[in-house]
Amino acid sequence: MAINANYMTLNPLYLINNSYPPSTSYVIDGNLTVLNAPSNFGIGMTHGFYSGKWYWEVLVSDVGQHLLGFLTLDDFTNQKSQPHNAFGSYLVYTSTSGQGIRYVEKSFNNITFSVSDGDIVQFALDRDNRKCWVGLNGTYIESGNPAGNSNPLFDSSDISATTGVFMPVFGTYGAQNNKQTLNAGQDSSFAGQKTSGSANATDGNGFGDFYYTPPTGFLSACSNNVPTSDDIDPAQTDDDFPQKQCGVLKNNSTGGDSYTGLGFRPDLVWVKWTEGDQGHGWFDSSRGTSKVLNSDSTAAEATSSGLTSFDSDGYTMGTYYNQSGREYMGWCWRANGGTTSSNTDGDITSTVQANQEAGFSIVTYSGTLSSVGTASVGHGLTKKPEFLLSKARTTNNDNGNWHCSHVGLTSYNYRIRINTNEGEANRSSAGDMASLFTNSTFGTNYTSGLNTSGDTFVAYVWHSVDGYSKFGKYTANGNANGPFIYTGFRPKIIIIKGLVTGSGWVIKDDTLDGSNPGTGVLEPNQGSGKYTTAGGVCDILSNGFKVRTANAVANSTSYDPYVYMAWGSVPFKYNNTF
């Protein structure tokens, strides 16, 4: 048997069917086997891949009409259709008639691949280079050689998605009897169905129990192998693991309180009264205490009797965001303890406070543009920004809009605004910014609120860190059994925004309601109190989150795209050990 680990299984929280949601009664053997599923059924798995090389096996005990492969979830938009009938699907299909078919999104062609009852199908996926090899009973088809990086069945010319998670999937085509069993390394006997001939092989890290030896460099999809940055890995650091990078405080104020229990000194504190109409207050240690901006407003930076100090275990508030008898939420991130430095990486010299381990920086700069044009700004991190919020500090007219760049938007020329419910909009008419987003800089142009001469600005910049933060997108399915989003950690804070006009913002955390799924969320673009959705917006899970509403706030009935931002507390590698 395999070394103890949390191995990939089938995931009943991610289902596909043209009659949605389908029953999960076809999923047996501890979520390893699909038995006699109806036509057009599909089910994803508990692990997804943003990077790395991965290996898994499937025993086809009863051929039927099966579909096996993976989905690229940034492209796959038809959770309520057939698994093979949409962009983002990469599958092999074999029926009782024998001849195999290779599905590439909506196109297909015949391949030399004929599966019989009792055969084992192998998958070797190279996520980084967007290649996948398919084997049959120990031999890779179409002369494939994953260890030698030659002749993949799917390659980068087939796979259009470059971002987002690649998720293994089981599916069916017709209604014939069928049975497929997964082995991601937990059991080379496939739940007792194979009793001889197994190699009892492990991967290169010593994990797994496989029927065939994994190709060199390809790993078992298990928690021990889930990518986790050494910078935030609880086993590698005492000071920088996720609970030391971001956190949530909830307090019932008695006035003049020091809020404690955070576990670190925050540099960005975002506070909100949960039950009534009072703006969202944003404070950071680069601008200094008592300097507040409001994400539900275009108003200029104001001096407030709000936050009075950033403390070693939380923060101290004055009176305005600390009125007696009111419950307040505080969402907090750590940068560099208030210590800033001058950054000359861009066209504009910026002042930066960076936490490179956690992929977060606070940037202040002065505007330079008085006409159409562009300018780059240094952000102090080591990777290209995936989520960026910027705000003019010195104006309260239209230039006061907040601007948000996100990796899930159409391009880096597009923006959404955290103070409105507007959809994404192309801002390149004032200058093409896309090429200015690099591992060291972000782009601005003459668009109101991005870079106007005479104004000063602040930007909050993040990129993903394996095991701690993820910024991506998903497609709504308009059902209370909503999409499952794999992050690779247990989220602590989740922000969601639809990309069409009319869809507002929501922020969800693991503290507001004290239960999961809680029914309450707050809206960053609204000063109003807690918003309640029947059944809650989402379940927070050990490996991501599951949308639990058909409300347009997170899952519209028109299958719109949504972007999300998630920061975690526990890497999936450790489940709930730390």
**Count, residues in the chain:** 578
- Least Cα distance to 173 among 121, 104, 107, 103 occurs for 103
| 134, β-bridge pairs | 123
Neighbouring C-beta atoms of residue 145, cutoff 10 Å: 13
Q: Is 533 helix (H, G, I), strand (E, B) or coil?
A: coil
Residue 206 neighbours by CB under 8 Å, 6+ apart: 3
Q: For 522, which DSSP code?
A: B
293 with 424, same domain: the answer is: no
Three-class DSSP category at 564? strand
Q: Could you count the other beta carbons within 10 Å of the beta carbon of residue 125?
A: 27
Give me the CATH number covering residue 161: 2.60.120.920
Tell me how far the alpha carbon of residue 577 is from its chain's centroid. Answer: 22
- Distance (Å, whole) CA 350 – CA 286: 12
- Are 53 and 174 in a shared domain? yes
* Contacting residues for 31 by C-beta, under 8 A, at least 6 apart: 9, 10, 11, 12, 46
Please choose, from the candidates 453, 561, 568, the residue with its C-alpha nearest in 3D space to the C-alpha of residue 501. 561
d(CA 528, CA 469): 27
**Residue 556 domain-assigned?**
yes
Q: What is the pLDDT of residue 253?
A: 67
| Domain end (from 419, 445, 462) | 462
Report how far apart, in Å, the C-alpha atoms of 501 and of each of 179, 417, 459, 529, 553 are: 44, 11, 24, 22, 12
- Euclidean distance between CA atoms 512 and 322, whole angstroms: 17
pLDDT of residue 578: 38
Amino acid, single-letter form, for residue 115: V
358, 312: one domain: no
Exposure string for 488-525, b = 16+ CB within 10 A, e = fewer: bbbbbbbbbbbbbeebbbbbbbbebbeeebbbbbbbbb
3-class secondary-structure state, position 143: helix
Write out the DSSP string of 333-362: E--STT--EEE-SSSB-EEEEEETTTTEEE
- Indicate whether 194 and 253 sit together in one domain: no
Q: How many CB atoms lie within 10 A of CB 176?
A: 15
Looking at the fold, whether 84 and 185 belong to one and the same domain comes out as yes
pLDDT for res 325: 86
On whether residue 240 sits in a domain, the answer given is no
- Same domain for 199 and 315: no
Domain presence at residue 170: yes
Whether 230 is in a domain gets the answer no
CA distance 562 to 33: 31
Q: Do residues 265 and 311 touch, judged by C-beta distance below 8 A?
A: yes
**Is 237 contained in some domain?**
no
Q: On the CB side of 531, how many CA atoms lie within 13 Å of its CA? A: 18
Q: How far apart are CA 185 and CA 8, in angstroms?
A: 8
Number of other CB atoms surrounding residue 271 within 10 Å: 26
- CA 111 – CA 142 distance, rounded (Å): 8
Closest CA to 453 of 378, 375, 530, 529: 375
Task: Please state whether 325 falls in left (phi above 0), alpha (psi between -120 and 50) or beta.
Answer: left
For residues 173 and 281, membership in a common domain is answered with: no
Output DSSP code: residue 214.
Answer: P
Tokens, residue 292: 């507040």
Look at residue 243 in the predicted model and tell me its pLDDT: 94
Write out residues in the chain with pLDDT < 50, as ranges: 577-578
Domain count, the chain: 4
In the chain, the N- to C-terminal Cα span, in Å, equals 26
Burial group, residue 310, by CB count within 10 angstroms (0-12, 13-18, 19+): buried
Place of tokens 């809020």: 259
Rg (C-alpha) for the chain, rounded Å, is: 25
C-alpha–C-alpha distance, residues 223 and 498, integer Å = 31
pLDDT value of position 577: 42
Q: Are residues 15 and 153 in the same domain?
A: yes
Q: Do 299 and 396 contact (CB within 8 A), yes or no?
A: yes
Domain that holds residue 445: 341-462
Domain boundary among 424, 442, 462: 462
* Same domain flag for 220 and 91: yes
Residues 381, 362 within the same domain: yes
Buried b (16+ CB within 10 A) or exposed e, 396-423: eeebbbbbbbbbbbeebbbbbbbbebbb
Predicted pLDDT of residue 575 = 65
Contact between 489 and 471 under an 8 Å Cβ cutoff? The reply is: no
Residues 42, 15: contact at Cβ < 8 Å?
A: yes
The pairing of beta strand 53-62 with beta strand 219-220: parallel
Residues 298 and 206 in one domain: no
Is the residue at 2 inside a domain? no
In a domain, 3, yes or no: no
Is residue 156 located within the same domain as residue 189?
yes
Paired with 169 in beta bridges are: 44, 69
Helix (H, G, I), strand (E, B) or coil at 499: coil
| Final residue before a domain boundary, out of 267, 301, 333 | 333
Is residue 238 one of the residues assigned to a domain?
no
